[in-house]
Amino acid sequence: MFKKVLIANRGEIALRVLRACKELGIGSVAVHSTADADAMHVRLADESVCIGPPDARESYLNIPQILAACEITGADAVHPGYGFLSENAKFSEILAAHNVTFIGPRAEHIEVMGDKIAAKTTVKKLGIPVVPGSDGAIHSVDQARALASEMGYPVLVKASAGGGGRGMKVAGSEDELANAIGTARSEARANFGDDAIYLEKYLQNPRHIEVQVFGDGMGKAIHLGERDCSLQRRHQKVWEEALSPAITAQQRDEIGMISAKAIGDLGYSGAGTIEFLYEDGEFYFIEMNTRLQVEHPVTEAITGLDLVAEQLRVAAGHGLSVTQDDVRFNGHAIEVRINAEHPETFRPSPGMIDAFHPSGGLGVRVDSAVYQGYAIPPYYDSLIGKLIVHGETREMAINRLSRALDEFVISGVDSTLPLFRRLVNEPDVRSGDYSIHWLERWLAAQSA
Ligand code: ADP
């Protein structure tokens, strides 16, 4: 096993990784920007190194500084968390060249999945169902027009390098197509420096269902069931569940086995998430994330596995601790993302937290790195913490979530707690009857 892991991240995920390291008897190194000198992950790590100013480009994304921190502290592995450098193939290669293990998949797999066209082509060959669309990149409006009229409108123009919902445009009819292509291209060029685009059938009322997979890098892979992340705002997840209330055990088994087999055939190593849209009984691949996800705790709740510990094992060459036959799904789990944002306008609300009382009790987990008296810096994402509940049934989990939300106290900054207190009582949420558009429509109706 590793002797010392450097955690190249901040906030709740840095703390999450730190906890796993401590429990496994592995030394830990926190890195931080000058804005995070008082952060919890810095206080709790064995050692810490300041790697630069608040601007993430000069600190959490600064590869030479992180490498220097590895050398100074003698860390033999780096856990990248999510975001920042977690899906940067170059970073993993540079670490390898300096004999530091990147806790994640091989660079070639990060690279192929980071390019959406290449990812789609790759997984399709491995037997994973994809959204109908262009075979590779679109080179002209005429080509797009011909394909779109064959598929039928609406169609979605997507950037191959896209992420965070950027570089995506819907065309409802042929009149809108040229414009959608132009906008998607220029957004992609400006944001990602790559204007390759492709075309997909636009699914009108899908759910977002993603499969958690794990490969040992030697051809063996398992799946840990799915998460339903259909409640989204601006293509960002706000509420995640395991398992999905929308699919049957047989469908779970099928899509899980297809996913695990593809990951095994790829020789993939570590944690990954295969994201699908699901509509009318069919799954359609949209992308694969080659890292730990924000919403991984719901999978931990229903499987009883520690996903970070599993990542550490695999990266250290010890393989997975379980086989597919060992994996059992127990009960239902829900995670809500509590952000420092106004619950109606979603305006970010950084600043001093003057009271913080997380909920507790049976079946409740709070992953947060804030504390009373902590000032949320304005430079990074607005996540205060994640509230995760586990119950025997979905109904029990929702009831538990409702009472946990009632107990939770955050004051000094705005938070999205009031939003969730309303959502838990919505009949559609209670019944699990929603698509990826439900939340946006509900929010629009609330403010009308
Ligand atoms: P990003 O990497 O920018 O997050 P994704 O491909 O993961 O892009 O898509 C993000 C979200 O956009 C999905 O969760 C879904 O809400 C929507 N979306 C993507 N592709 C389609 C599609 N073909 N039809 C309808 N909605 C889509």
Ligand 1 neighbour 169 (Cβ under 6 A): no
Buried b (16+ CB within 10 A) or exposed e, 36-71: beebbbbebbebbbbbbeeebeebbbbeebbbebbe
Ligand 1 pocket check for 210: Cβ under 6 Å: no
Q: What share of the chain is helix, strand, coil (3-state, %, to 5)?
A: 35, 30, 35
* Cα dihedral 109, 113, 115, 121 in deg (nearest 10): 100
CATH number of 207-447: 3.30.470.20
Going by their DSSP bridges, the two strands 101-102 and 236-242 should be labelled as unpaired
Q: Which atom of ligand 1 is nearest to the CA of 229?
A: 14
Question: Cα-atom radius of gyration of the chain, to the nearest Å?
Answer: 21
Q: What is the mean pLDDT of each run of 10 residues along the chain (448 residues)?
A: 98 98 98 97 98 98 98 98 97 98 98 96 97 94 95 95 86 96 94 93 97 97 98 95 98 98 98 98 97 98 98 97 98 98 96 98 98 97 97 98 98 98 98 97 94
User: Measured from the CA of 201, which atom of ligand 1 is nearest?
Assistant: 23
**Would the CB of 234 count as within 6 Å of ligand 1?**
no
- Transcribe 272-284 into DSSP letters: EEEEEEEETTEEE
Stated as kind and residue range, the H or E segment containing 386 is strand 383-391
Cβ of 164 below 6 Å from ligand 1: yes
Q: Which pair of structure tokens corresponds to residue 237?
A: 């997840």
DSSP string over 301-327:
HHH---HHHHHHHHHTT---S--GGG-
Choose the catalytic residue: 207, 291, 313, 394.
Answer: 291
**What's the rounded Cα separation, in Å, for the pair 407 and 355?**
13
Site to substitute for ligand 1 among 86, 160, 168, most atoms within 8 A of C-beta: 168
For 446, other C-beta atoms within 10 Å of its C-beta total 10
Q: CATH number for the 4-103 domain, one of 1.10.645.10, 3.40.50.20, 3.60.15.10, 3.40.1390.20?
A: 3.40.50.20
Task: Return the best residue to mutate from 286, 294, 440 for the ligand 1 pocket (most ligand atoms within 8 A of CB).
Answer: 286
Q: The whole model's pTM is what?
A: 0.96
- Residue 32, strand partner residues: 50
Ligand 1 atom nearest to CA at 165: 3
Q: Which residues have a Cβ under 8 Å from the Cβ of 319 and sit 6 or more positions away?
A: 216, 218, 220, 313
Q: Answer whether 363's CB lies under 8 Å from 400's CB.
A: yes
What per-residue confidence (pLDDT) applies to 353? 98
- For ligand 1, the distance from its centroid to the CA atom of residue 325, given in whole angstroms, is 32
Classify 88 as helix, strand or coil: coil
Q: Is 375 helix (H, G, I), strand (E, B) or coil?
A: strand
Residue 162: per-residue pLDDT: 87
Check pocket membership of 131 for ligand 1, CB cut-off 6 A. yes
165 lines ligand 1 (CB under 6 A): yes
- Ligand 1 atom 22: residue of nearest CA: 202
Residue nearest to atom 13 of ligand 1 (CA): 235
SS3 411: strand
pLDDT of residue 205: 96
Domain borders along the chain are: 4-103, 132-201, 207-447
CB-CB contact of 244 with 227 (8 Å): yes
Task: Quote the pLDDT of residue 119.
Answer: 97
Distance 289 CA to ligand 1 centre (A): 13
CB distance 275 to ligand 1 below 6 Å: yes
Answer yes or no: is the C-beta of 441 below 6 A from any ligand 1 atom.
Answer: no
CA–centroid distance, residue 286 to ligand 1 (Å): 7
Which SS3 state, helix, strand or coil, does residue 394 take? helix
Is there an atom of ligand 1 within 6 Å of 117 CB? Answer: no
Cα of 116 to ligand 1 centre, how many Å?
Answer: 11
The alpha carbon of 132 and the centre of ligand 1 are apart by a number of angstroms equal to 13
Sort strands 355-357 and 409-411 into parallel, antiparallel or unpaired: antiparallel
Which CATH entry fits the domain spanning 132-201: 1.10.150.20, 3.30.1490.20, 3.40.50.720, 1.10.260.40? 3.30.1490.20
pLDDT at 166: 83
Q: Tell me if residue 234 is catalytic.
A: no
Nearest CA to 34 out of 15, 18, 10 is that of: 10
Ligand 1 atom at minimal distance to the Cα of residue 286? 6
Check residue 252 and give its pLDDT.
Answer: 98
**Is 154 near ligand 1, meaning CB less than 6 Å away?**
no
Q: Say yes or no: CB of residue 208 within 6 Å of ligand 1.
A: yes
Q: Which amino acid is at 224?
A: L
Q: Rounded CA gap, 292 and 295, in Å?
A: 8
